[in-house]
Amino acid sequence: MAEAKGLSKPVKLKSDLADFLGASELPRTEITKKLWDYIKENGLQTKTENGKAENAGKFIVSDSKLLPIFKNTKSTSKSGKLTDLTGMKEGQTVNMMQMAAIVGANIE
């Protein structure tokens, strides 16, 4: 069997994400899928920035379980955009386009 590469290759998870997902290593694709499953199951999407959860929209509302994962995020994209969620509070939102930065900040 061929070795998994790229997004399918398992990566080591930092402790907050590992505790949340119940695994120490997963491929990025599986990490993202499991995070989205949780967000959808718990109705944690909203159409407006820092709006109330309404189970639809492009913003993700942080709850007590997602907050430690989101707060690990401080990264700069290739285009130079800073994503700093270290001061985030429960109930605040992140744009779903930041999910890659969140996953990237929570793996080793």
Q: pLDDT tens digits, residue range 42-61? A: 999 999 888 888 878 899 99
**pLDDT of 77 higher than 60:** yes
CA 105 to chain centre: 9
Domains along the sequence of the chain with CATH: 10-105 (1.10.245)
Tokens describing residue 37: 């499953």
What integer pLDDT is reported at residue 3 of this predicted model? 66
Q: What is the rounded average pLDDT for all residues in the chain?
A: 91
pLDDT tens per residue, range 24-48 = 999 999 999 999 999 999 999 999 8
Q: How many residues does the chain have?
A: 108
Tokens describing residue 12: 């080591």
